[in-house]
Amino acid sequence: RQPLFRLWELFQRQLSVPLNVRDMLPERAIPDLPAPAHGLEEVLSAAVPGRVLLDSESRLRAGTGHGLADIWRLRTRQLERFPDAVVRPETEEEVQALLNAAMSYNHGLGFGIIPVGGRTNVTSATKCPSQEVDSRPMVSLDMRGLSKVLWVNAEDGVAMIEAGITGMDLKRSLKQHGVTMGMEPDSMELSTLGGWIATRASGMKRAR
């Protein structure tokens, strides 16, 4: 027998540890998060009306990625700190309004902003700093509302593209102009152009 089968037999027969490869961890209800900081909802709603999310699921998703550390924290309910709110602007003007609100909030003490895209990072890049490091409220800036290809110059190989576009949507859009981006990370169905740039991401065919 191969060593793997011997190990399987050791666990099941000698250690009485059942090994059913079809077993899955049971689903758990989404935990409740603390209420946002005082007055934050009103400030955000005034700055970017209709773009603010305060529910626990949106905040949990914005504050985690696809890394094992993130998954472990969620499964074990180690909910250290998550964004107070998620804002998903759709124009450059709305982004500017959010930044202005961040600077003026709470008599100039402000709130922190963490940009997020497809949430595929494996380095806890969207994790909020602890209260000891930064006690200001934290707001996740969801860039996926900014996902347009504004223009493409196929002759020069230059384009202006908003940061929230996903890899697959970008590939399809560029194909209409007869060009390609020459980069196909494993996460391109979900990850965004802005995330690639911010994290210096690489992937298959990156130098094509």
**What's the pLDDT tens digit per position in 31-53?**
899 999 999 999 999 999 999 99
Backbone region of residue 159 per phi and psi (left: phi > 0; alpha: psi in -120 to 50; beta: other values): beta
- Predicted local confidence at residue 204, as pLDDT: 56
**pLDDT above 80 for 157:** yes
Dist CA 77 CA 126 (whole Å): 17
| Per-residue burial over 94-104, b = 16 or more CB atoms within 10 Å of its CB, e = otherwise | bbebbeebbee
The stretch 158-184 carries a mean pLDDT of 92
- Predicted local confidence at residue 3, as pLDDT: 54
The residues, any chain, with a CB within 8 Å of residue 137's CB and separated by 6 or more, are: 36, 37, 40, 84, 85, 105, 111, 112
**What's the pLDDT tens digit per position in 104-113?**
999 999 999 9
Dist CA 104 CA 17 (whole Å): 58
**pLDDT above 70 for 194:** yes
pTM for the whole structure: 0.82
**What's the pLDDT tens digit per position in 52-69?**
999 999 999 999 988 888
Task: Say if CB 40 and CB 85 are below 8 A apart.
Answer: yes
The stretch 157-170 carries a mean pLDDT of 95
Classified as helix, coil or strand, 7 is helix
The 112-116 sheet, strands edge to edge: 52-53, 85-87, 138-142, 112-116
